A and B are shown apart, each in its own frame.
Chain A
Amino acid sequence: MSKPIIATTSLAGCFGCHMAILDIDARILQLIDLVEFNKSPIDDIKTFTKECDIGIIEGGCCNSENIHVLKEFRKHCKILISLGECAIMGGLPALRNGIPVKECLEEAYLNGPTVGRNTERILPNDEELPMILDKVYPCHEIVKIDYYLPGCPPKADLIWAAVVALVTGDELNIPYELVKFD
């Protein structure tokens, strides 16, 4: 039997969840025995070249490109996992959700204390750029998500346990410490 195929992506996240995946350390050698990677920042495959079994999503959706990528993942993956706070609930980027997007853009590009020399007072408007959404959406509001792995970032042991259980079909046993955050 061929190995299950995994794809991963980071949407409106900080790549911290992907760092947490790498935190499985030496087990990465076991992982590549277990699975094959397709589209993912880990192997730098940019577009889907195969249908995948598991899609792991970091980050919520803050722009039109995130939506596009997420929908592609749903199309090409049998199982989708929201990995981490941002994918599950929007996370830190969703702090802007109570503020009109126009105000956010003006703060970021015109009025903020760290804005450099934007002498022409331009808000990025190139047609090639992704369009900013009115708010940051958690992934499950855009497509169906099958599993959620909580944490900011989720612990490597949790990711490891979940992926192994999914791939081997064994029962998932998560010690309380892995999902306890206080």
Chain B
Amino acid sequence: MKEKIISIIKAHGTDTARLMDILLRVQAEFGYVSTEAVSIMATMLHISEVDVVQTLSFYHFFTTDAVGKYAVYMNNSLVSCMMGMKEVVDEFEKQAGIKFGSKTPDGLIGLYYTACIGMNDQEPAALINGIVFTELNREKVRNIVADMKAGKSVNDMVAVIGDGINANPLMKSMVKNNIRKSGPVILADYTLGIGIAKALTTDSKSVIKEVKDSNLRGRGGAGFPTGMKWDFCSRETGVHYVLCNADEGEPGTFKDRVLLTERAYMVFEGMTIGGYAIGAAEGILYLRNEYTYMKAYLENVLNDMRTKNFLGNNILGKGFNFDIRIQMGAGAYVCGEESALIESSEGKRGEPRNRPPFPVQKGYKGKPTIVNNVETFCSVVRISEKGASWYNAIGTSESAGTKLLSISGDCKLPGVYEIAWGMSINEMLEMVGAENVQTVQVAGPSGICLPPKQFDRKIALEDLPTGGSMIVIGQHRDLLKDVVLNFMEFFADESCGSCVTCRSFNMILRNAIEKIVDGHGIKKDVENMLAWSEILRKTTRCGLGQTSSNPISTTIKNFRELYDARVKDVDYQSDFDMQKSVLASCEAVGRSSVVHE
């Protein structure tokens, strides 16, 4: 074991900044990271054991105990639950003979929950040893567990292969693309090299000007003008870096999954153009751990681009050097925040940084860095190819171009749609075949819960901004129990814990909504939740805490009647149950637990 770990550390240049990769390799090799492994890493990397442990303990997919020969990570996010996760969970538990959150005594099967894995259009889905299993049902689970007991390799359990690149021998995944609508920018026909070739014929300032003139704004959700970001970064001196944010963690978003599958060359080409624009020689694709199944294919794309001289030294003979490496994440929603993503890329806990300085000033390794979304880089390639004015003519006055939407939930045609900005929610619902809609969750849990009377609003950065997540929720759903509680559990889990209010209030709000769902709520609870949401929004460092109360605040605002119907108009009500709360201790000491009031 020791020799193996030493060789893994050496393979990563004995570099502290590669601690994430070292931990990932050790986790993959041994199924967990032992205290012995921690000690070896600390010694060789010249850091304290606590430094290793703080990174190790931060991420969902690092464990200090063996997770089982077959580790099932079941997605328990909203749409998975909507599509029948309960049945799947029940069947897994029945077949494996254990509950979720544990592993079989022989260490063969481990069952765990995880947050959205980017498969909302084909739920319920789970990861088994990193391989994606979609559209699960009782029968499939029975076969999977039988295969596990027979010792079959997980790759061989994948019976039906998905479409397009998903069928590539390096991917061989059952994931479907579900591309429902192509647009002119991203999903139209693409030929490698036109964009970068054109960019390299001009100087870097002209490239930035073209991006600025296109009015392209960041596609991750915040909508910051891309050209401006690049301009700021290019003005800084010294080494520069390009980071591509492929940590698509917002529940309900899966368009980057499709782009990395079908437009991987375009993503990397866009990063190269970005590198040329700001004067960087190194790019990093930060890929979420849930998309590990794509890694071999993506590495191959990078090699292919190197062979064809689209990456490496003297690209296309124009004297520009640029290369890209892939940084895997390890399961943390907050790493989608750009400064957390940078911290994570440096091998640390994914805790957002204080700003300023902004990443364009001091980013990766303290150097000026641009962090852009996968879709943003794809857009840049087309802008370079077709020009700013062509691009600018698409969309609305404040939101140029097209947007990829990941639409899921209660609709006939879930999948990825490339639309011009400006489409109304009504038009969108018609497009996806959705009827009897109670609400649309726009931009994921951190977005807003939109009532039908606002369905004439436009999907655009100036009206309804979104990173792409659109979850359609039908009339038959219990909005507070199924949706709001699920979202608050997610945020309580995913808060990095750095800001006190985010650490505490997400938990307090989760408990408050649960109290109401359980029928113990009073009017004052609703008022409290609104007040606490406001405090949380104002007192946290990053976007997570600033938006995590949205499931509560937007449903109180837009669906107040659902709360009023559930809460009592009394001064005070406790949900404390003495009988229940003394059970565990009485059982432990062996005495009667009868309560005499």
Chain B residues within 8 Å of A132, by CB = 582, 585
**A101 close to B (CB within 8 Å):** yes
Q: Residue-by-residue, is B570-597 near A (CB-CB < 8 Å gives 1, otherwise 0)? A: 0110111010111111111111110101
**A141 close to B (CB within 8 Å):** yes
Most buried by B among A105, A133, A143: A133
Can you list 7 A-B contacts with CB-CB less than 8 angstroms, sorted by A residue number?
Answer: A100-B584, A102-B587, A102-B588, A126-B591, A133-B585, A134-B580, A141-B574
Shortest CB distance B69–A (Å): 27
Most buried by A among B585, B586, B595: B585
Chain B residues within 8 Å of A19, by CB = none
Shortest CB distance B595–A (Å): 7
> What is the CA–CA distance of A101 and B584 in the complex, to the nearest angstrom?
7
Instruction: Report whether A142 and B589 are in contact in the complex, using a CB–CB cutoff of 8 Å.
Output: no
Instruction: Report whether B582 and A125 are in contact in the complex, using a CB–CB cutoff of 8 Å.
Output: no
Other-chain contact of B586, A67, A131, A137 (Cβ < 8 Å): A131
**Beta-carbon nearest neighbor of A68 in chain B:** B597
Q: Given A143-B572, A144-B571 in contact, is the A101-B591 Cβ separation under 8 Å?
A: no
Instruction: Report whether B590 and A125 are in contact in the complex, using a CB–CB cutoff of 8 Å.
Output: yes
**Beta-carbon nearest neighbor of B588 in chain A:** A102
> What is the CA–CA distance of A105 and B571 in the complex, to the nearest angstrom?
36
Instruction: Report whether B592 and A134 are in contact in the complex, using a CB–CB cutoff of 8 Å.
Output: no
Chain B residues within 8 Å of A127, by CB = 591-592
Give the contacts of A147-166 with B (CB-CB under 8 A).
none
Instruction: Report whether B574 and A105 are in contact in the complex, using a CB–CB cutoff of 8 Å.
Output: no
Chain A residues within 8 Å of B590, by CB = 123, 125
**A47 close to B (CB within 8 Å):** no
Chain B residues within 8 Å of A100, by CB = 584
> What is the CA–CA distance of A67 and B596 in the complex, to the nearest angstrom?
12
> Count of chain B residues with Cβ under 8 Å from any Cβ of A?
22
Chain B residues within 8 Å of A137, by CB = 576, 581
Q: Given A133-B581, A134-B582 in contact, is the A123-B572 Cβ separation under 8 Å?
A: no
> What is the CA–CA distance of A123 and B585 in the complex, to the nearest angstrom?
10
> What is the CA–CA distance of A182 and B592 in the complex, to the nearest angstrom?
45
**Beta-carbon nearest neighbor of B576 in chain A:** A142
Instruction: Report whether A101 and B585 are in contact in the complex, using a CB–CB cutoff of 8 Å.
Output: yes
Shortest CB distance B73–A (Å): 23
Shortest CB distance B583–A (Å): 7
Shortest CB distance A100–B (Å): 7
Chain A residues within 8 Å of B572, by CB = 143-144
Instruction: Report whether A134 and B584 are in contact in the complex, using a CB–CB cutoff of 8 Å.
Output: yes
Chain B residues within 8 Å of A102, by CB = 584-585, 587-588
Chain B residues within 8 Å of A64, by CB = 578, 582, 595
Instruction: Report whether B589 and A134 are in contact in the complex, using a CB–CB cutoff of 8 Å.
Output: no
Task: Give 3 nearest A-B pairs by CB, closest first.
Answer: A144-B572, A132-B585, A102-B588
**A116 close to B (CB within 8 Å):** no
> What is the CA–CA distance of A64 and B579 in the complex, to the nearest angstrom?
10
Shortest CB distance B512–A (Å): 11
Most buried by B among A101, A123, A124, A127: A101
Instruction: Report whether B588 and A105 are in contact in the complex, using a CB–CB cutoff of 8 Å.
Output: yes
> What is the CA–CA distance of A141 and B571 in the complex, to the nearest angstrom?
13
Instruction: Report whether B574 and A131 are in contact in the complex, using a CB–CB cutoff of 8 Å.
Output: no
Other-chain contact of A134, B575, B583, B591, B597 (Cβ < 8 Å): B583
Instruction: Report whether B585 and A105 are in contact in the complex, using a CB–CB cutoff of 8 Å.
Output: yes
Instruction: Report whether A134 and B581 are in contact in the complex, using a CB–CB cutoff of 8 Å.
Output: yes
Instruction: Report whether B589 and A125 are in contact in the complex, using a CB–CB cutoff of 8 Å.
Output: yes
Give the contacts of B528-577 with A (CB-CB under 8 A).
571-572, 574-576
Q: Told that A68-B597, A131-B586 touch, could you supply 18 new A-B pairs with CB distance under 8 A?
A: A101-B584, A102-B584, A102-B587, A102-B588, A124-B589, A126-B591, A131-B582, A131-B585, A131-B591, A133-B585, A134-B580, A134-B584, A137-B581, A141-B575, A141-B576, A143-B574, A144-B571, A144-B572
**Beta-carbon nearest neighbor of B511 in chain A:** A141
Instruction: Report whether A105 and B589 are in contact in the complex, using a CB–CB cutoff of 8 Å.
Output: yes
Chain A residues within 8 Å of B591, by CB = 125-127, 131
> What is the CA–CA distance of A16 and B595 in the complex, to the nearest angstrom?
30
Instruction: Report whether B593 and A131 are in contact in the complex, using a CB–CB cutoff of 8 Å.
Output: yes
Chain B residues within 8 Å of A124, by CB = 589
> What is the CA–CA distance of A127 and B441 in the complex, to the nearest angstrom?
53
Chain B residues within 8 Å of A125, by CB = 589-591
Shortest CB distance B510–A (Å): 15
Shortest CB distance B546–A (Å): 23
**Beta-carbon nearest neighbor of A145 in chain B:** B572
**Beta-carbon nearest neighbor of B582 in chain A:** A131
Instruction: Report whether A67 and B588 are in contact in the complex, using a CB–CB cutoff of 8 Å.
Output: no
Give the contacts of B268-318 with A (CB-CB under 8 A).
none
> What is the CA–CA distance of A38 and B87 in the complex, to the nearest angstrom?
58
Instruction: Report whether A123 and B584 are in contact in the complex, using a CB–CB cutoff of 8 Å.
Output: no
> What is the CA–CA distance of A141 and B508 in the complex, to the nearest angstrom?
12
Chain A residues within 8 Å of B574, by CB = 141-143
**Beta-carbon nearest neighbor of A71 in chain B:** B597
Instruction: Report whether A133 and B582 are in contact in the complex, using a CB–CB cutoff of 8 Å.
Output: yes
> What is the CA–CA distance of A136 and B575 in the complex, to the nearest angstrom?
14
Shortest CB distance B213–A (Å): 49
Shortest CB distance A73–B (Å): 14
Chain A residues within 8 Å of B588, by CB = 101-102, 105-106, 123
Shortest CB distance A97–B (Å): 11
Other-chain contact of B589, A123, A143, A144 (Cβ < 8 Å): A123
> What is the CA–CA distance of A17 and B584 in the complex, to the nearest angstrom?
30
Chain B residues within 8 Å of A126, by CB = 591
Give the contacts of A37-68 with B (CB-CB under 8 A).
64, 67-68
> What is the CA–CA distance of A164 and B360 in the complex, to the nearest angstrom?
57
Shortest CB distance A154–B (Å): 20
> What is the CA–CA distance of A127 and B591 in the complex, to the nearest angstrom?
7
Q: Residue-by-residue, is A109-147 near B (CB-CB < 8 Å gives 1, otherwise 0)? A: 000000000000001111100011111010001111000
Shortest CB distance B518–A (Å): 13
Chain B residues within 8 Å of A131, by CB = 582, 585-586, 591, 593, 595
**Beta-carbon nearest neighbor of B593 in chain A:** A131
Shortest CB distance B206–A (Å): 52
Chain B residues within 8 Å of A134, by CB = 580-585
Chain B residues within 8 Å of A143, by CB = 572, 574
Q: Residue-by-residue, is B251-268 near A (CB-CB < 8 Å gives 1, otherwise 0)? A: 000000000000000000
**Beta-carbon nearest neighbor of B575 in chain A:** A141
Shortest CB distance A147–B (Å): 14
Chain A residues within 8 Å of B578, by CB = 64, 67, 133
> What is the CA–CA distance of A124 and B585 in the complex, to the nearest angstrom?
10
> What is the CA–CA distance of A144 and B584 in the complex, to the nearest angstrom?
26
Q: Residue-by-residue, is A65-84 near B (CB-CB < 8 Å gives 1, otherwise 0)? A: 00110000000000000000
Most buried by A among B572, B576, B589, B590: B589
> What is the CA–CA distance of A123 and B590 in the complex, to the nearest angstrom?
8
Chain B residues within 8 Å of A68, by CB = 597
